[in-house]
Amino acid sequence: MSFETYPSEWKQIQNLKGEIRDMQQNHITALQNAISQGFNVGYKAGIEQKTKWIPCSEQVPMVSDEYLITWTCEWNGKLMRSISIAEYDAEAEEWNTDAYIRNYSREVGIIAWMPLPEPYKEAENGFYT
């Protein structure tokens, strides 16, 4: 088929090609947006999970590691609350606190925890992460 023999059909074919190309581009754009939104939601959920305090009454860590903790104790008749880093022994199901915390009271209550953030590091290109 040539343009000279069937000019109106040729024009229709070219128009259909353009419409198909536009539809493909719209679908590609919609897919890219969906992927981007899904990534953003997943990324945000991951960040929130890493930065959200988890009450010990609801859940304790499943893996032995160091965690950021919120602890309370009574000291000189006052309820004290602070944060620190403590190691959780998943096998023994107990927290191992440092001497600093134990100096306040023998009755330290660890009430919440969260995973430690990634350590600071300088990127090779001079930007900080």
Residue 107: per-residue pLDDT: 64
pLDDT in tens, 59-71: 999 999 999 999 8
Q: What is the mean pLDDT of residues 71-92?
A: 85
pLDDT surpassing 60 at residue 92? yes
Within 13 Å of residue 16, how many CA atoms lie on the same side as its CB?
Answer: 6
Going from N- to C-terminal start, the domains of the chain cover 1-52, 54-115
Residue 12: per-residue pLDDT: 82
Q: Higher-confidence residue: 19 or 6?
A: 19
Q: What is the mean pLDDT of residues 76-93?
A: 87
* φ/ψ (deg, to 5) at 43: -65, -45
Give CA torsion, residues 99, 104, 110, 113, to 10 deg.
-60
Q: What is the mean pLDDT of the chain?
A: 78
Q: Higher-confidence residue: 65 or 21?
A: 65
Give the tokens for residue 67. Answer: 């965690």
pLDDT surpassing 70 at residue 56? yes
Residue 15: per-residue pLDDT: 82
Give the tokens for residue 103. Answer: 């100096």
Q: What is the mean pLDDT of residues 22-42?
A: 72
What pTM, to 2 d.p., does this model score?
Answer: 0.53
DSSP 12: H
